[in-house]
Structure 1
Amino acid sequence: LTGIFMHGKIPTLKISLIQIFRAHLWQKIHESVVMDLCQVFDQELDALEIETVQKETIHPRKSYKMNSSCAG
């Protein structure tokens, strides 16, 4: 179980999903969410004990970039 509840008819859901992924809308949504998160992190640097916030461009077909480091 995913815990996600769907309401409405399947054709309506299909149309909604098609609209989200058409014309790079998902990419725009993702970019907007990332920018909002970066802005919040930037405002809360001290509270979150973050040194810097850096937004990097990634491949448009990927929604993540793996970058790990060890703090000693």
Structure 2
Amino acid sequence: MTVVQERPATDARTLIDPELRATLAADVCAKFEDMSEEQAQRGIGQMLAFLAAGVRSPAPLSPSPLVDDF
């Protein structure tokens, strides 16, 4: 029998403060000159979602190469 536990969704934007998010976005944009601010913000969101998923997963997870850059 499989038991499924539902957990409330976590908004990744709440996991770090706006100043840290801005610093991370600036760092990524400096590293990848073709990346827009919007893409950097989306990537940070994906990185935070990956970290949140990793905390809750009983199995090891691996990010995509792009998320790994964040």
Regarding TM over 0.5, the answer is no
Greater helix fraction, Structure 1 or Structure 2: 2
- Return the index of the structure with the highest Cα Rg: 1
Query: Greater RCO between the two (CA within 8 Å, min separation 6)?
Result: 2
